[in-house]
Structure 1
Amino acid sequence: MTRHTVAQFACGLALLGALGATAALSGCGGASQSGSGNVNNGAGGTPASTPAAGTAPPARKMLLIELDGVTYSALSAGIAGGKLPNLAKLTVAPAYSGGVNGTLSQQPNLDTPGWASVLTGTWADRHQINSDAPNQALHSSTVFQRLKSAGAGSTGAVVDSESLAALLSPDQNAGYLNTLVNCASVDTCVTQTGAGMIGNGYSFVVAQYHSAQDAALNTGLASTNYANTLVQLDAAVGTLIGETAKRSNESWLVMVTAGHGLNAAGGTDGLPLPPESTSFIALNQTPNARLGNTAAPATMAALYTRASIADVTPTLLAYQGALPDAASYALDGGQLLGATPVSQLLGTTGSDNASLVLKWTAPASGAISVLRNGSVIASLPAGTATYTDNQLGLTTTGVYPFNYTVVAGSAPLSTITQVVYVQPPPPPPPPPPLATTLTTGLSSYYPFGALPPADRLNASTMAPWAADADAGTLVADPFGGKGLQIDTHTVDSNGFDGYKLAQIDDVTTHAQFTIGFWFYTSCANLTGNGTPVFSNKNYYSGGNAGIAIGLFPGSGTSCNIRFNVGDGSTRNDINSLNVSANKWTYLALSIDTAAKTINAYIFDPVLGEQKVLGQTLSVNIAKLPGLGVFGLNEDGTGRYYMNACNDSPPYTVGECAATPPDVQAFSDLALWTRIVTEAELQSVYGSGQPLSTLIH
């Protein structure tokens, strides 16, 4: 290392003197900042007592070494080539940095966010460090704070980077970090001061080096300078580990890591790509399965199956017996020693927009517990890898974050995830009851349900126009029963097809009358000539005497219903209403001969209620009975399709394309000798009940 040689010389001279003097630390390239705890003078002070052999279990202590700029590929190559013998003695595996792309945890692969994750065990959605900007404050508890709360002994940090010293200053000022030394880019200062802290009884020491990142940026990853820097850093690691070995009756956990990877040019661009996101974790103890093997992942998906830099702090805390319990656990990392936690814990909003789906990779053993915001919400068998939380207690649309902790055996791991909750619409109002007044003036009523159709009031008959052309079948109606489907592809040689309705007391002879029925059509095979639906006239011309409801082309998903009355010379038409294809709709026509008005209604599940009210009736009302018989999927002649083709017997179906045959369905057909009101018709459609429920 060639940086700051004058400062290194000064550091060396200072450290030859008494390590207890503050000047010794400040001479190592930067300022000494000592807290008000038990250790008063940096790495100096009174050495920890050494208990007699066998009188007490070894004291657990920890050393964390941060090697900024050491990439996993360079580390692996150096170990394989025998260039890094001290690091080779550790268990080394790749680990990811930068959180998980596309989730709340994602953070840039930069120094300050990386340091924050290493020293808090959390990602930026908790620690709130998202850049290398100065004067940022951590919003998560550091490992120093947690160890102080656990009474784990004196802690010290000796750092190469001024920005890391600034980030940790609040911990030092609050007394969580007993000693903080800024070596201002002098690696020998870091090594010698860190060794001094170890030798003087500190329980936890952090040593941060930045020289490899400087070398990579200045001369590239393939340079001799970078390779030599790694060799020198390996020697520094050896020195620090060697110092721990000198301590009697102490058991040291040593961890080595880097806050992020580098791009191919050796720079720090912060991008969420495999090179920038591949760091490493090395330790001197046998890890659990979470650390994984030494294979370098080539994709982000493969990288996310490995450990992360957020696992460092939980591992340190677990080793010291200071890991938070599951109820208070708010760390995104998990322990690498002892019981194996879950991995790849992620949450997504459920498809119902009211639940949250958690997924993870479960370890080989350990029953699973799931906690939301500290409360257990599920206990699951070992190996379970998903859970849907549908008891969130949310009532208002919004985005809600939750801290979920999944515990495998005794090993917890948490994540902040959010649900995008969409409040379900209020339940629809109950359907209106079927108006009981609908039995008043009811003249004929066909509930269908069986063949041949029967008028419940015995006031009319219904049958095919020709016995040898009966194409009536039963189909599902809108009430769960059966309606009548009529197919005019079936025709006899005389041209008769469809069905006819003959009344004993024709409603069209009354001063007021209403026709209403449920109707179903595919809206296919329609032409401008029109297709009869319900008619008592010769529909070859709308001017002919009588009444017709006809079907005409419309859009691709609907077709046009036309209401027509005529007397042979005058006609009245309503042509503006439509029905949806392949939907049950309700059609109604009311005529008041005294008031000379026509009302037409269509109730459609897609198009809603459509109506024309009070249209003038100007035809001769004596002509309204037409031919005295109503045709269904036919007109009053029973031979509309033949007549529309200007054909005559013997007739074969489909002889002309001008008016092709059709398939139509009817249900709950009713005739009244009065004007049925709009409210009554709305109850027919809205209630979803047949009139048969009113007739006993």
Structure 2
Amino acid sequence: MRPNPLTNAAPLTRWLLPLAISAALAACGGGGGGGVAFPPISGTPTPPPSSTPNEGKSGPKALIVEIDGLTHAVLRDAIAQKKVPAALQSLQLAPAWTGGTDGALSEQPATDGPGWATLLTGTWVPRHAVRADTADQRIDAKLAPSVFAFAKQKKDAGYLTASVTANALYPNLLLAETGTLDTAVDCAGADACVTANTTRLIGAGYDLLVAQYSAPAAAAANGLRSDSYQRAVSDTATAVGQLLARIAQRTANDAKEDWLVILTTGHGLDAFGGVTSLKDVDNKTVFIASNKTLPALPAVGATSPADDTALRQSAAATDIAPTVLRHLGALPATAAYNLNGQALQATTAVQQLAARTSADRSSIELSWTLAGDLGGPVQVLRDGKPIATLPAGATRYTDPVKAATDGLYAFQYTVAAGGANVSVSAQIAYVKVGLVNLFPLDALPALDLNATATLVPMAADADGGSLVADDNFLPPYRVQALRVDSRIKNASGMAGYKLLQTRDVTTSPAVAAFTFGFWLRTDATCSQGVSNGASVIANKNYDTGDNAGLALGLFSNCELRFNTGTGSGRGEIKGKHFLSAGRWAYVAMVVDKAGKNMSGYVFDPVKGTQTGSVALSNALVAALGGLGKGIALNEDATGLYYQRWSASPRGAMDFNDFAIWNRALTAEELTAIYTSGQPLSALAP
């Protein structure tokens, strides 16, 4: 459709002249200051108010002007070189970024189609679904309603909406969304058509308009200093000035008309004025220029960022849609918020919201940055439901995934702070962790979070258990740990603690593999690691490693030995694992019954990661159950090891977060547990 151009376009007003000139001069050169002047734009007198009342209603209105081929660098350069009147310095111009986050779900090409979809929806590709510049692409109207759809949902306002585009690709992208545009004009590459129809619709009282120009992009292929590019930008600037002059005439007639005007572009250009598949900082740099001060718009007046890290501290292209919607009073409530940007009118800026799957694939880790007003709490929502309220200034949250079965799960997280909401899509290839028993050991009596095992003194009259305050975790997870002191014994010499499972993983035919994992700390000199050694854990009589069952022994030089026995022979890992005395280390015994193998892991803060393994015979696997009396801590399964072997000194061992899985954990999973600084209760379902 190519309507007849208006013959009496309103002239530029004095207050709009700087903005028009800025658009014209945006194309002069790059950041080096060697730009070439564009053809001048002559000012005209401010038009008087019309004697005819405005068509349409008063109140908030918004115009978004998207100019393909205009970059932040040349626009800012023109202003810095004072190639525009001083009044232009009041323009709120800032760099912004597009293209999503590299390597994350949100990553998208910095090209026309995805950029237009992001502008209209305030979302990245996981929601809007536009991945290319082809005619078959459509915005997912269900997951990513456009700004027009949100405006229409505010039925009491009765907003009139319009889209006027020159790029032939753009009208196709909204074909899946019906009933949200009162007028849609496809100008088929004619920028004059964009100006004529947008001016007409402003005059007709439309409330939300998106106008798009293409001439600068078409000419950019000739170079940003070429005559054709300069002329294209000048012509576009004149055209935009006509739109703004018409707005000025309406506001002169009615002071209650409150217009938000935003100029932007869909993506950046490389140094030669081209668009490439390389997502370098130039291609991802766009801009936001507003006629209003926006408190959460960072880097106003700043130069174009030199690298991606600096760029990500700017506003995002996804912030434009929510900013417009807030101006119109049509911004979704926090519980229904699925936009990947925030309204820039907020006093708090929530930036760089990211989601990643934890190394053990059992949780999603959220991170973000905050700027501006940091006085209030931070709320986290998952799929619209609050899951955490964090203290002011918080910038991280780990969400444990609770799923019944393995599979790929998708979530939408929203972080809300200081009147700002931002959402991010996340997904996790969840593998049920098989955590059978977990004793946090931060309170007594010790309780299994799964309530399928007990941990009690070996003898009721010899409770050597106490709590120590300096556990191994990082704040805010640091609480207490369990100290088991074998010097506390009864009259028969019995000591230690005993863990008894409802279903013993060492003997259950349904369990093909299992893992014991826990934090361990000796005393400051590893005093128990002498003579015959100490029994750290055991389900056997540990008089000899040949006895049936399994054990973990502490020997000289603070060595740990991973042991299994049949009654007449053993499978053992020795000479490979050593502790730093008095320091917390993570210890794991991984037994693959089906694969006939045992692996030992020690993660020590000084000695690093130490691993070893040994093959298990059928007889060793058959004897893993030991005495069938459970697993002793700082004793063997009889409770009398130190009584029988008096040369092996009694002493205190500290334990924390004792866990048993019914599967073989991988080295990567164990490493993640060690490096997380968090208890398993914060990481696992």
With normalisation by structure 1, the TM-score equals 0.59
CA distance in 1, matches of 2:598, 2:293: 75
1:212-254 per-residue CA deviation (whole Å, 9 max, x = no partner) reads 111111x112323222322222222222111100002211110
SS of equivalent residue, structure 2 residue 301 = coil
The residue that corresponds to 1:325 in the other structure is 333
Of 353, 356, 365, 2:361 maps to: 353
- CA deviations over 1:489-546 (Å, ceiling 9, x no partner): xxxxxxxxxxxxxxxxxxxxxxxxx99998979899xxxxxxxxxxxxxxxxxxxxxx
Q: Which amino acid aligns with 1:159?
A: T
Matches within 5 A, 1:2-401: 14-16=5-7, 50=53, 59-82=59-82, 90-139=91-140, 140-151=144-155, 152-171=158-177, 174-217=178-221, 219-247=222-250, 248-249=253-254, 250-295=257-302, 296-365=304-373, 366-367=375-376, 368-390=378-400, 392-401=401-410
How far, CA to CA, are the matches of 1:519 and 1:363 in structure 2?
A: 51
| Contact 1:87–1:237 under 8 Å retained in 2 | no
Deviation at 1:194, TM superposition (A): 1.2
| Residues 132-163 of structure 1: CA deviation (Å, up to 9, x unaligned) | 01032211211111111113421112111111
The answer for the alignment partner of 2:590 in structure 1 is: none
Alpha-carbon contact 1:370-1:404 (below 8 Å) kept:
yes
Matched letter for residue 78 of structure 1: A
Task: Indicate how the Cα distance of structure 1 residues 607 and 683 shifts in structure 2: closer, same or farther if over 3 A, else same.
Answer: farther
Quote how far apart the aligned CAs of 1:604 are. 10
Q: Which runs of 5+ in 2 are unaligned?
A: 11-49, 438-451, 455-485, 494-528, 578-596, 601-612, 645-685
Q: Tell me the secondary structure at the aligned position of residue 403 of structure 1.
A: strand
Aligned to 1:395, the other structure's residue is in SS state: coil
Query: Following the alignment from structure 1 to structure 2, what is the Cα–Cα distance between the partners of residues 196 and 112?
Result: 27
SS of the aligned residue for 1:157 comes to strand
Change (3 A) 1:244 1:521: closer
**Secondary structure of 2:348's aligned partner:** coil
- The letter of the residue matching 2:390 is L
Q: Which amino acid aligns with 1:370?
A: V
Residue 638 of structure 2: aligned partner = 690
Alpha-carbon distance in structure 2 between the residues aligned to 1:323 and 1:75: 30
Indicate the SS of the match to 1:255. strand
CA gap of 1:186–1:78, structure 2 versus 1, over 3 A, is farther
What's the RMSD between the two structures over aligned residues?
Answer: 4.6
Offset of residue 121 of structure 1: 0.6
Q: Is the 8 A contact 2:99 2:284 kept in 1?
A: yes
Query: 1:260–1:87: structure 2 CA closer, same or farther, 3 Å change rule?
Result: farther
1:450-599 matches, cutoff 5 A? 473=531, 475-478=533-536, 579-582=572-575
Q: In structure 2, what is the Cα distance between the partners aligned to 1:359 and 1:577? A: 48
The alignment partner of 2:371 has SS state of: coil
Distance 1:472 1:203, change over 3 A: closer
Given that residues 354 and 424 in structure 2 are in contact (C-alpha distance below 8 angstroms), is that contact kept between their aligned partners in structure 1? Answer: yes
Contact 2:533 2:556 (C-alpha < 8 Å) held by counterparts? no
Alpha carbons of 1:208 and 1:477: their partners in 2 closer, same or farther (altered >3 Å)? same
Give aligned pairs, total.
469
Residues in 1 aligned to 2:552 and 2:385: alpha-carbon distance in whole angstroms: 56
Question: Which of these two proteins has the greater Rg computed from alpha carbons?
Answer: 1
Q: Secondary structure at the match of 1:102?
A: coil
Q: 1:412 aligns with which of 405, 417, 421?
A: 421
- Answer whether contact 1:169 1:180 (CA < 8 A) is retained: no
User: SS where residue 354 of structure 2 aligns?
Assistant: strand
One-letter code aligned to 2:165: V
The separation in 1 between residues aligned to 2:224 and 2:237, in whole angstroms, is: 17
Partners of 1:400 and 1:317 in 2: CA distance: 30
Give the AA of the match of 2:291.
Answer: N
CA deviation after TM superposition for structure 1 residue 16, in Å: 3.3
Residues 325/300 of structure 1: CA separation in 2 closer, same or farther (3 Å cut) = same
Q: Distance in 1 between matches of 2:542 and 2:123?
A: 68
Using the TM superposition, give the Cα deviation of residue 340 of structure 1 relative to its aligned residue in structure 2, in angstroms.
3.0
| Deviation sequence 1:22-77 (CA, Å, 0-9, x none) | xxxxxxxxxxxxxxxxxxxxxxxxx998489xxx9951111110000111112112
8 Å Cα contact 1:297/1:303 also seen in 2: yes
Alpha-carbon separation, structure 1, partners of 2:149 and 2:51: 21
- Conserved 8 A contact 1:523-1:558: no
Q: 1:103 to 1:515 in 2, by over 3 A?
A: closer
Query: TM-score, normalised to structure 2's length?
Result: 0.60
Q: Give, in angstroms, the shift of residue 168 of structure 1.
A: 3.4
Inter-CA distance 314–473: structure 2 relative to 1 (3 Å threshold)? same
